[in-house]
């Protein structure tokens, strides 16, 4: 296959020396940041990542509608799905990857294993455009992916009480909602901590 976007393999530069993982790195986990276009997902990835955020992509084809559509293969359209991601070294052995994208989230959910393998998700919302996050919340619910909701604190965004937002988003009572500033490392870190505590509480609840 000819990939015009591929660099000559001679000129590939790998991670900067400070971005290299130790040999002891034995396993990775991932968290996905979703929320619709322009809510600050890439900003959040960048603010907590220890590496400069990178981009990976996948080429997918959208099949025609209908199970028996064997004749229409020429009508399939190829879609390139790009994802930005960052990394946090949790310990010498464990690495956390954060995926978030400026692009079309609809296609992420068709990327086999992307959400299934995630520990959980952060839904980032902008109260000026709450409706852009409706679709992803529905898709997470369908997939059974646990998530927390983080309200990215844009200066001119309307303020709603948490319970108003919970109702508007039709969230279960247990789903945490918190304010955050995705540009700030500590704030984004706190969102991830809230997600982990929530996931932890789910394990306790099931015992």
Partner 1 sequence: MTPPQGPLPGPSNGEPPSRRDAPARDAPAPGAPPQRERRSPDNPERLYILTGEDSERAPSTLVTLIVADGEAAPTAQPEHAAVLRLCRTPLSVAELSAYIALPFSVVTVVLTELLAAELVQARAPIVRSALPDRSLLEAVMHGLQKL
33-92 positions binding partner 1, by CB under 8 A: 48, 54-63, 65, 78-80, 83, 85, 87-91
Residue 180's closest CA among 171, 168, 192, 167? 192
Helices (H), the chain: 41-48, 134-143, 162-168, 185-206
> Is 153 one of the binding residues for partner 1 (CB under 8 A)?
no
Cβ–Cβ contacts within 10 Å for residue 175, how many? 16
Contact 114, 47 (CB under 8 A): no
Map the footprint of partner 1 across residues 173-202, applying CB under 8 A.
173, 185-186, 189, 192-193, 196-197, 199-200, 202
Q: Does 154 bind partner 1 (CB under 8 A)?
A: no
Q: Which of residues 156-175 bind partner 1 (CB under 8 A)?
A: 158, 160, 164-165, 167-170, 172-173
Q: Find the shortest distance in angstroms from Cβ 6 to partner 1.
A: 5
- 9 touching partner 1, by CB under 8 A: yes
Nearer to partner 1, 40 or 187 (CB): 187
Q: Which is nearer to partner 1, 38 or 117 (CB)?
A: 117
**Nearest distance from residue 181's CB to partner 1, in Å?**
15
Q: Which of residues 83-142 bind partner 1 (CB under 8 A)?
A: 83, 85, 87-91, 94-97, 99, 106-107, 109-114, 116-120, 127, 130-131, 133-134, 137-138, 141-142
The token duo for 189 is 């870190």
Q: How far is CA 157 from CA 95, 130, 160, in A?
A: 34, 10, 9
Nearer to partner 1, 40 or 188 (CB): 188
Task: Provide the minimum distance between the beta carbon of 84 and partner 1 in the complex, in angstroms, as a whole number.
Answer: 9
Q: SS3 for 129-183, per residue?
A: HHHHHHHHHHHHHHHCCCEEEEEECCCCCCCCCHHHHHHHCCCCCCCCEEEECCC
Tokens in use for 35?
């929320």
């Amino acid at each position: 296959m000819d990939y015009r976007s591929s660099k000559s393999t001679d000129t590939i530069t790998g991670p900067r020396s400070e971005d290299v993982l130790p040999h002891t790195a034995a396993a990775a986990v991932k968290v996905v940041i979703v929320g619709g276009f322009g809510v600050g997902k890439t900003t959040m990835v960048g603010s907590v990542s220890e590496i400069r955020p990178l981009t990976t992509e996948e080429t997918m084809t959208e099949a025609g509608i209908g199970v028996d559509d064997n004749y229409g293969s020429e009508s399939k359209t190829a879609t390139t799905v790009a994802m930005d991601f960052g990394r946090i070294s949790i310990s010498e052995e464990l690495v956390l990857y954060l995926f978030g994208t400026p692009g079309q989230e609809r296609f992420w959910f068709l990327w086999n294993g992307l959400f299934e393998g995630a520990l959980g998700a952060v839904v980032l919302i902008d109260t000026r455009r709450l409706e852009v996050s409706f679709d992803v919340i529905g898709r997470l619910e369908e997939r059974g992916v646990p998530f927390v909701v983080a309200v990215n604190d844009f200066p001119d965004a309307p303020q709603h009480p948490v319970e108003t937002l919970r109702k508007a988003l039709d969230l279960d009572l247990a789903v945490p909602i918190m304010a955050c500033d995705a540009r700030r490392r500590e704030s984004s870190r706190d969102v991830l901590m809230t997600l982990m505590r929530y996931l932890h509480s789910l394990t306790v609840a099931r015992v």
